[in-house]
C-alpha cells in the first residue's frame, strides 16, 4: 500500500428526535428485510494463510527481479487450477523516475459470458523501499509485503479455490494488479502525485482485458491480514460507491464482524480503486486497514522491513474472506 491519506472525512451528524413507538416501528420494519437464504461456502483461513506464505517464499516481489517473475508464474499456475479463464496482461510501464518496469496483471474469471458480474482485486507486487522503517539503515531495503499485498492476494486465491468448488451465482473477475507500490521514496515526496501509484491498475483501467469490460461494482483488498485490523469506510470509496460500502459493511456486521468493519468514516487513500472509479467508471470500494492511533494512519509495519509473515493473523483473513464469499453468494 502506497500514498499517505489525503484527508480525514469529517462526519457531521444532526440528531433528529422521534417518538419511541415510531423508532421501534422503524427498527421492526428494517429487521423484516431479510437476505435470501443461500449456501455460502466456508472460507478456509488456513488455506489463505498458506497462500500468503507461498508468495513470501519467493522474497520481495519487486518488479524486474527474479522473485517477481517467479511469483507471477506461481500465481498464474495457481489461478489456472481454479478456472480455465485466466488472462495475463504483460507489458512495460514507466515509474515516476523513468525506470522501465515489466509488469503482469493476472485476471481470472468465472462465468465470463454473464453480463451481471463483480470485480475483486488486490495488488501482488511489494514495495522496493522500506522508506518508513524506524531504522534509517533499512530505508532503501525492499519490503516483504506480507500484509501490504500478499494478504489480499492470499484471500483472493482462497476465494478462487472456493469458486472452483461451488460456482458463483453471478460472473466474477479476480484481478491481481502489478506495480502498485513503486511510488516515490518518502525522501522524494516533494514530487509525489496520485498517478505515480497503482500503475498496473491504471494500465488495466485504460486497457481492460476485454475491450467492453464492465462490472456492477468492484471490491479492492489492501492490508487485510494484520491482527485486530480495523476497516473504516474509506473516503474515496464513499465518494464513488457509498451504497456498495454500506452494503458490504452491513453484510460483515450481520455475520458477526462488527469489531473489524467499523461503520465510521476513514481517510481517503490513493489506491488501485482510484483509476477503476475515475477511468473505468466502475464503482469500486477499498477494504483497507486504517489505524487512527498510528502516525502514518496505517498498520505499524506499513512500508517497513517488519511487514513479514509473522504479522499475519488467519482470523483477519477469515473476517475479510468470509465477508467476500457472503457478498458473492448473496448477489442476484
CATH number reported for the structural domain that contains residue 60 in this entry: 3.40.630.10
Looking at residue 191, what is its pLDDT? 62
Answer whether residue 218 is part of any domain. Answer: yes
Looking at residue 327, what is its pLDDT? 98
Instruction: Determine the straight-line distance between the first and last CA of the chain, rounded to whole angstroms.
Output: 32
Answer whether residue 165 is part of any domain. Answer: yes
Answer whether residue 223 is part of any domain. Answer: yes
Q: Which domain holds residue 180?
A: 41-329
pLDDT band at 192 (very low <50, low <70, confident <90, very high): low
pLDDT in tens, 83-102: 999 999 999 999 999 999 99
Sign of the CA dihedral with 206 first, then 207, 211, and 213 last: negative
Answer whether residue 74 is part of any domain. Answer: yes
Radius of gyration of the chain (CA): 19
Is the distance from CB of 152 to CB of 319 less than 8 angstroms? Answer: no
Strand, coil or helix: what is 261?
strand
CA distance linking residue 54 with residue 58, whole number of Å? 7
Answer whether residue 32 is part of any domain. Answer: no
Domain count for the chain, please give it.
1
With a threshold of 0.85, does the pTM exceed it? yes
Q: Helix 151-165 to helix 314-329 angle, to the nearest 10 degrees?
A: 50
Answer whether residue 28 is part of any domain. Answer: no
pLDDT in tens, 198-251: 999 999 999 999 999 999 999 999 999 999 999 999 999 999 999 999 999 999
C-alpha cell at 123: 495488488
Amino acid at each position: 500500500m502506497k500514498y499517505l491519506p489525503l484527508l480525514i472525512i469529517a462526519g457531521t451528524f444532526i440528531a433528529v428526535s422521534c417518538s419511541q413507538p415510531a423508532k421501534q416501528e422503524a427498527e421492526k420494519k428494517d429487521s423484516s428485510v431479510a437476505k435470501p437464504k443461500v449456501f455460502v461456502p466456508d472460507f478456509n483461513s488456513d488455506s489463505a494463510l498458506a497462500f500468503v506464505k507461498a508468495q513470501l517464499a519467493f522474497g520481495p516481489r519487486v518488479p524486474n527481479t527474479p522473485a517477481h517473475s517467479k511469483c507471477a508464474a506461481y500465481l498464474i499456475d495457481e489461478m489456472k487450477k481454479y478456472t480455465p479463464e485466466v488472462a495475463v496482461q504483460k507489458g512495460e510501464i514507466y515509474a515516476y523516475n523513468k525506470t522501465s518496469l515489466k509488469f503482469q496483471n493476472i485476471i481470472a474469471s468465472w462465468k465470463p459470458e454473464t453480463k451481471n458480474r463483480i470485480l475483486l482485486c488486490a495488488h501482488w507486487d511489494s514495495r522496493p523501499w522500506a522508506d518508513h522503517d524506524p531504522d534509517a539503515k533499512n530505508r532503501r531495503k525492499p519490503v516483504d509485503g506480507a500484509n501490504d499485498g500478499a494478504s489480499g492476494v492470499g484471500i483472493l486465491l482462497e476465494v478462487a479455490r472456493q469458486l472452483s468448488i461451488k460456482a458463483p451465482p453471478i460472473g466474477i473477475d479476480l484481478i491481481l494488479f502489478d506495480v502498485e507500490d513503486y511510488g516515490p521514496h518518502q525522501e522524494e515526496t516533494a514530487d509525489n502525485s496520485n498517478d505515480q501509484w497503482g500503475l498496473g491498475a491504471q494500465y488495466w483501467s485504460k486497457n481492460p482485458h476485454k475491450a467492453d469490460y464492465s462490472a456492477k461494482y468492484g471490491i479492492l483488498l489492501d492490508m487485510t491480514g494484520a491482527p485486530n485490523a480495523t476497516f473504516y469506510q474509506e473516503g474515496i470509496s464513499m465518494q464513488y460507491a457509498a451504497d456498495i460500502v454500506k452494503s458490504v459493511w452491513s453484510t460483515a456486521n450481520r455475520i458477526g464482524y462488527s469489531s473489524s468493519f467499523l461503520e465510521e468514516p476513514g481517510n481517503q487513500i490513493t489506491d488501485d480503486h482510484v483509476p477503476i472509479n475515475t477511468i473505468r467508471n466502475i464503482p469500486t470500494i477499498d477494504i483497507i486497514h486504517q489505524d487512527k492511533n498510528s502516525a502514518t494512519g496505517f498498520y505499524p509495519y506499513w512500508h517497513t522491513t517488519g511487514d513479514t509473515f509473522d504479522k499475519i493473523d488467519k482470523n483477519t483473513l477469515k473476517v475479510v474472506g468470509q465477508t467476500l464469499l457472503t457478498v458473492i453468494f448473496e448477489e442476484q
